[in-house]
A and B are shown apart, each in its own frame.
Chain A
């Protein structure tokens, strides 16, 4: 509680009422853009507008309602995906510095290879209300949303996350999977857009509709991730994926189906579209920005484009599993990572999209105090630090209820041929 937010709560409350006419999203965005340091959770709690979900806060009270013992444990466990943090001589400098600073030991476990697989491994334990032996896990939006929905995540104590409050980019506030920002802190993100081989297309592609060009027949692929494929097509149809219904999914399905049937779409791929795109088997494809960071330098003909109608944004989120033994250490890490120089250190190696404001500037100039050399190439790469215009066009798929998920999946399976 030593880190009182910059604007006092009364101010924010007054502001909230004064701006009553604004929608929630507008309001949060403006506060975010103005450099306001309060997280959306505080705002909403302050004006008593809790939006359902598994909120543990009483209306009117601040986010400080959640409180963990503030003692650093000698060690703690964090599960993450492989190759997803800075590395130097087989060590992780960011973790080493964290351990030294807080006199703790981080067991950094790279045991997440697949969202479902990881979930399957711990689901029974979580359901039984037991500690899974991890103090922090890093899962992708929709799976993170599922954990939130199921009540498998400890709420955050925002008072000890001042850096997250001030440096989390506004795009990430109030995402539909965690509308009150109660549970999730972004780790890395990626965009879903369109990748194409400009030599083969002979022109620039600008929208999802370009994928249906008969000239590219049999040379187009979509993604196996239902949310990415449906999301982009929905945007193309003018539907907001953060609010979509089953009827909208049906529309997206109907828009894609003829192109599956006539062979326009070659296949639905995971990351494996990379090879096909690089060797010319594919002319155009729905792609993830993270893969394109790797592909573009070696393949000058490849281009990544954010469609005019918008793109999808996915995020891997840091979150604290229910009944974790050392939630304070996890909070310390989140707060530590949200220092722009630490985020820059991680980003220079990881090359996904960084949710931490100011990291690009640090990375450009370098920071000798943490042994980080300036790396303008990465700092200026729009795929790693996308401009605001891109992020404004980025959408997050909504959190689906169980029955919706079944219906969406059934529709999608009909397209991929696994229905």
Chain B
């Protein structure tokens, strides 16, 4: 009897999965299959690409673009770290001190997103221009001399340097970090903090033992939501970077669209995807999100 009721109760759940599953099947798994299939072919657009199961495509693609892979990881990681440093205090203030302005402040965080992605990035071109206020201020303060030495910039300018690319990525993905952090901070029960203080924890200690651990799900979601799109981003590197700052996304874009070298572009896409997947699994293990969420 009880088994039957259970069956009746759980049965409706499966059809509910259907739309999502169909969507995934058509727009993710099928394209994935074609991408995988393409990545093992050889040929060119004129004569067609023949399936020869050439796994060496992967080796070649990775070897030829090692530099861009490494650069992408470094840029994406730096941008994620930077976004975290900016977002955490921001989300904290909005969540704990926002009061009745909470919603307004949140809207301000998202406001830049009302503008097109490309336009936002192009705006940075203007902001960081060689003769612009920012660059000349940095230059006269000697900051550029320091960053030039560190290799973040070159030639006493900001535009077309690694610093500009990382800054651009950070800016463009900042809300992806801020919003999850805000959500996890906002739902923390304030009484837990009061309890910690009652038990003679000072404020920094209460933060380290209560707030930070409870916001881990937000940190996890935020870093992934920032890091994953950032590592594949190519607009920032294209508009704000130079030939020395190209990322793996630029390579894939030019191989697909300019050079029509579909197999190696597909191989690179797959490698990137696999790399991200491995990273996410390891990251999830370390942070142990199952217990947190």
Chain A interface residues toward B at CB < 8 A: 114, 116-117, 123, 146, 149-150, 217-219, 224, 226, 260, 263, 265-268, 272, 275-276, 279-281, 401-403, 405-406, 409-410, 413, 415-419
Q: Are B258 and A275 in contact (CB under 8 A)?
A: no
In the complex, per-residue mask of B188-206: 1 if CB is within 8 Å of any chain A CB, else 0: 0000000000000000000
Contacts of A281 in B (CB 8 A): 129-131, 157, 159
Within the assembled complex, what's the spacing in Å between the Cα atoms of A281 and B64?
31
B257 touches A266 (CB 8 A): no
Q: Tell me the bound Cα distance from A410 to B157 in angstroms.
A: 30
Q: Min CB distance, B47 to chain A, in Å?
A: 6
B255-273 Cβ-contact flags toward A at 8 Å (1 or 0) = 1011111000000000000
Enumerate chain A residues within 8 angstroms of B50, measured Cβ to Cβ: none
Residues of A within 8 A of B132 (CB): 279
Closest CB in chain B relative to A63 CB, distance in Å: 27
Known: A268-B243, A272-B239. 5 other contacts (CB 8 A): A114-B257, A260-B243, A281-B159, A402-B44, A405-B259
Q: Contacts A280-B130, A280-B131 known; A406 to B257 CB distance under 8 Å?
A: no
**CA of A218 to CA of B44, assembled, Å:** 36
The answer to the question of B77 belonging to the interface, with a C-beta cut-off of 8 Å to chain A, is no
In the bound complex, do residue B45 and residue A402 qualify as a contact, i.e. CB atoms below 8 Å apart? yes
Bound-complex Cα distance A281 to B136 (A) = 12
* Interface residues contributed by chain B, number (CB under 8 Å): 36
Contacts of B159 in A (CB 8 A): 281
| Given known contacts A409-B258, A413-B259, A149 and B155 CB-to-CB distance under 8 angstroms | no
| Bound: A297/B107 CA distance, A | 41
Instruction: Given A150-B46, A406-B259, A409-B258, check contact A416 B131 (CB 8 Å).
Output: no
Q: Which of B47, B65, B253, B254 contacts A402 (CB 8 A)?
A: B47
Minimum CB–CB distance from B180 to chain A (whole Å) comes to 33
Q: Contact at B254–A267, with CB atoms within 8 Å? A: no
Give 23 CB contacts A-B under 8 Å.
Answer: A116-B258, A263-B154, A266-B160, A267-B241, A267-B242, A272-B239, A275-B125, A279-B126, A279-B131, A279-B132, A280-B129, A281-B129, A281-B159, A402-B46, A405-B44, A405-B259, A406-B44, A409-B258, A417-B68, A417-B246, A417-B250, A418-B246, A418-B254
> CB within 8 A of B129: which of A265, A272, A279, A405?
A279
Shortest distance from the beta carbon of A404 to any chain B beta carbon, whole Å: 11
Residues of A within 8 A of B245 (CB): 417
Number of CB contacts from chain A to chain B under 8 A: 89
Q: How far is the CA of A114 from the CA of B257 in the complex (A)?
A: 10
* Interface pair B259/A409, CB less than 8 Å apart: yes
Task: Give per-residue flags for B131-166: 1 if the beta carbon is below 8 A from chain A beta carbons, else 0.
Answer: 110000000000000000000001101011000000
Bound together, the chains give a CA A392 to CA B54 distance in angstroms of 48
Across-interface contacts of A415 in B (CB, < 8 A):
243
Contacts of A418 in B (CB 8 A): 68, 246, 250-251, 253-255
Closest to A272 in B: B239
A267 touches B243 (CB 8 A): yes
Q: Does B244 contact A (CB under 8 A)?
A: yes
In the complex, are the beta carbons of B254 and A266 less than 8 A apart? no
Contact A218 B155 (CB under 8 A): yes
Q: Chain A residues near B154 (CB, 8 Å)?
A: 218, 263
Within 8 A of A (CB), among B28-81: 44-47, 64-65, 68
Do A417 and B239 contact each other (CB < 8 Å), given the known contacts A275-B125, A280-B130, A280-B131? Answer: no
For B259, list chain A residues within 8 Å (CB): 405-406, 409-410, 413
With A and B bound together, what is the CA distance between A263 and B148 in angstroms?
13
List the B side residues contacting A219 at CB < 8 Å. 130
Q: Give B67's nearest chain A residue, CB to CB.
A: A417
Q: A266 is contacted by which of B65, B242, B253 (Cβ under 8 Å)?
A: B242
Taken together as a complex, chains A and B put the C-alpha atoms of A405 and B261 apart, in Å, by 10
Q: How far is the CB of A301 from chain B (nearest CB, A)?
A: 13
Nearest CB on B from A200, distance (A): 10
B129, B130, B243, B245 — most chain A CB neighbours (10 Å): B243
- In whole angstroms, what is the CA distance A417 to B254 when docked? 10
Contacts of A226 in B (CB 8 A): 258
Judge whether B257 and A416 touch: CB under 8 Å.
Answer: no
The contact of A406 among B64, B129, B261, by CB within 8 Å, is: B261
Tell me, rounded to whole Å, the shortest Cβ–Cβ distance linking B256 to chain A: 9
**CB contact between B155 and one of A224, A263, A276, A401 (< 8 Å): that residue:** A263
Within the complex, the shortest CB–CB distance from B64 to chain A, in Å, comes to 6
Q: Are B160 and A403 in contact (CB under 8 A)?
A: no
Q: How far is the CB of A355 from chain B (nearest CB, A)?
A: 27
- Smallest CB-CB separation from B244: which chain A residue? A417
Among residues of A, the one whose C-beta sits closest to the C-beta of B45 is A402
Task: Tell me the minimal C-beta distance from A295 to chain B in angstroms.
Answer: 16
From A150, A279, A403, residue with most partner B Cβ within 10 Å: A279
- CB neighbours of B160 from chain A (8 A): 218, 266-267
A401 to B245, CA, bound (A): 31
Q: Which residue of B lies closest to A218 (CB)?
A: B155
**A401 contact set on B, CB distance < 8 A:** 46
CA distance A123 to B44 in the complex (A): 13
B250: chain A residues within 8 A (beta carbon)? 417-418
Please indicate the chain A residues that have their CB under 8 angstroms from the CB of B255 in the complex.
418
Please tell me if the beta carbons of A117 and B257 are within 8 angstroms of each other in the complex.
yes
Chain B residues with CB below 8 A from A417, complex form: 68, 242-246, 250
CA distance A108 to B157 in the complex (A): 46
Contacts of B239 in A (CB 8 A): 272
What residues of chain A lie closer than 8 Å to B254, measured between beta carbons?
413, 416, 418
Cα distance, A226 to B260, chains bound together (Å): 14
Max chain B Cβ within 10 angstroms of own Cβ: one of A260, A272, A405, A419: A419
Residue of B46, B47, B242 ringed by the most chain A CB atoms within 10 A: B242
Rounded to whole angstroms, the CA-CA distance of A260 and B45 in the bound complex is: 30
A217 near B258 (CB under 8 angstroms)?
Answer: no
Which chain A residues lie closer than 8 Å to B246 at the CB level?
416-418
Shortest CB–CB separation between residue B129 and chain A, in angstroms?
5
Which of B65, B155, B260 sits near A116, CB closer than 8 Å?
Answer: B260
Q: Which 10 pairs between the two chains have the least Cβ-Cβ distance?
A: A417-B246, A402-B46, A218-B155, A417-B243, A402-B44, A409-B259, A418-B254, A281-B130, A418-B251, A267-B242
